[in-house]
Amino acid sequence: MPVLNVDLGDRGYPIVIDSGILNQLQSFQPYLGKGRVVIVTNDTVAALYLDAVESALSPAVDVGSIILPDGEQHKHLASVNYIYDYLLENKYDRQTVLVALGGGVIGDITGFAAATYQRGIDFIQVPTTLLAQVDSSVGGKTGVNHTLGKNMIGAFYQPRSVIIDIDVLRTLPVRELKAGLAEVIKYGLIGDREFFDWLGDHSEEILALDTECIAETVKRCCEAKAAIVAEDEKESGVRALLNLGHTFGHAIETASGYGTLLHGETVAMGMVMAADLSRRLGMLDADQAGAVRQMLESKFAMPVIPPQIPQSQFLDLMASDKKAESGRIRFILLNAIGKAVITADVGPDALSETLCAGEGLCQD
């Protein structure tokens, strides 16, 4: 199996990427430890893959399961408490390993439960969406939402391994696939112009889930994410670049109501807004700003126009973002496609124009 490594010393871990490995005991066995195992999933993924994973693990370990409701609107402390209740009622100890079988919501909830149950137990990420495979399953960000902000409660807590079966993407709804592709395109925008161009050249094959193209896409994103996490685990520097589009996107997601728009959809909108703001500040030329929107909107048919949100609400939500410092909003902006920067030096007029641009984003 192709294996990448997240180099964090004694907290490092492998990322295994292959086809047809979800129902194979050898995919999991090196990371199971000596205790019992609990699979945490949601009702959508459970119907597709829970039996296969339980069957794979049951010859080697005692396996339990927790099925949560599907959706971002359930990414809250009550879901974490439901996991605690199950673990405590069934007397699971500190040798227990949790298996997060699902997308980014399940991975974040399960990781946070693992980080906090009995002051920390092991967990394995088994991402079943493209967004989770290329982004949220790698790097140890765990947590839940609050009504006043996304991902405001959580911890950095690394998994024991990340097991990625690209075959599961074939059961992913097209909308979810495209939402994941927003995070894929982000990697090209922040640091790899060649990858950005490659994605545009292979958009049809990627949307058709061509095995070779999807495998290459996932591998390149995981390589980039692993390198950034190894350099800056807790987002004190370069890792913040991974938040391109997220300051705008999180505000859109919170204002719209969790679950109304997919996370990746709001990131796509946010990246177009970031490109537009970069253009207005004279950092990014108009052609490249337009290319960002064209890639998302034309090549991959993603939504790029945010819903109408009062500017005061937009600014308040962005000011409450985790990346804000001393009351100043920090933005990830573009000097060029493939060259992202972190800055809080954004004039109010340019920001206001971007927030009000609507259909005119990235367009003169």
The model's pLDDT over 184-227, given as tens digits with 9 standing for 90+, comes to: 999 999 999 999 999 999 999 999 999 999 999 999 999 999 99
141 is catalytic: yes
Q: In which domain, by residue range, is 56 found?
A: 3-171
The model's pLDDT over 274-297, given as tens digits with 9 standing for 90+, comes to: 999 999 999 999 999 999 999 999
The model's pLDDT over 302-355, given as tens digits with 9 standing for 90+, comes to: 999 999 999 999 999 998 876 676 678 899 999 999 999 999 999 999 999 999
250 is catalytic: yes
State the pLDDT at residue 1: 59
Q: What band does 363 get if pLDDT is binned at 50, 70 and 90?
A: confident
202 is catalytic: no
Q: Report helix, strand and coil shares of the chain as percent, to nearest 5.
A: 55, 20, 30
Task: Please name the helix (run of DSSP H) or strand (run of DSSP E) that holds residue 348, with its range, or none.
Answer: helix 348-355
Same domain, 301 and 161: no
State the pLDDT at residue 114: 98
Same domain, 236 and 211: yes
Could you tell me if residue 86 is left (phi over 0), alpha (psi between -120 and 50 degrees) or otherwise beta? Answer: alpha
CA 340 vs CA 9, 43, 331: distances in Å = 28, 38, 10
Is 90 exceeded by the pLDDT of residue 259?
no
**Pick from 221, 201, 357: nearest CA to 289:** 357
Q: Which residues, other chains included, contact 175 with Cβ-Cβ below 8 Å and sequence gap of 6+? A: 262, 265
CA 291 vs CA 142, 259, 296, 356, 358: distances in Å = 33, 29, 9, 20, 17
Of 123, 141, 171, which residue sits at a domain end?
171
Name the catalytic one among 36, 75, 141, 323: 141
Q: What is the mean pLDDT of residues 93-107?
A: 97
Query: Angle at the Cα of 258 (from 254 to 262), degrees rounded to 5?
Result: 100
1-10, 104-113, 167-176 — which is least confidently predicted?
Answer: 1-10
| CATH code where residue 134 lies | 3.40.50.1970
175 is catalytic: no
Q: What band does 90 get if pLDDT is binned at 50, 70 and 90?
A: very high
Is 80 exceeded by the pLDDT of residue 170?
yes
Token pair, residue 123, equals 């967990």
Q: How far is CA 51 from the centre of its chain?
A: 25
Instruction: Give Rg (Cα) of the chain.
Output: 20
299 is catalytic: no
Same domain, 66 and 101: yes
pTM over 0.85: yes
Q: In sequence order, what DSSP letters do the residues of 45-58 get, joined into one string?
A: HIIIIIHHHHHHHT
Same domain, 132 and 199: no
Same domain, 122 and 199: no
**Pick from 259, 283, 256, 282: nearest CA to 270:** 256
Same domain, 14 and 40: yes
225 is catalytic: yes
CA 3, CA 163: separation in Å to the nearest integer? 9
State the pLDDT at residue 326: 65
Q: What's the start-to-end Cα distance of the chain, in Å?
A: 48
CA 232, CA 240: separation in Å to the nearest integer? 9
Is 80 exceeded by the pLDDT of residue 2?
no
CA 10, CA 8: separation in Å to the nearest integer? 6
Of 113, 139, 171, which residue sits at a domain end?
171
State the pLDDT at residue 324: 73
Same domain, 254 and 338: yes
State the pLDDT at residue 3: 87
The model's pLDDT over 49-80, given as tens digits with 9 standing for 90+, comes to: 999 999 999 999 999 999 999 999 999 999 99
246 is catalytic: yes
| CATH code where residue 336 lies | 1.20.1090.10
Token pair, residue 154, equals 């959580």
Is 80 exceeded by the pLDDT of residue 105?
yes
76 is catalytic: no
Is 90 exceeded by the pLDDT of residue 41?
yes
Name the catalytic one among 202, 246, 279, 330: 246
263 is catalytic: yes
Name the catalytic one among 145, 186, 243, 280: 243
Exposed e or buried b for every residue in 288-313, given b needs 16+ CB within 10 A? Answer: bbbbbbbbbbebbebbbebeebeeee
Of 150, 171, 192, which residue sits at a domain end?
171
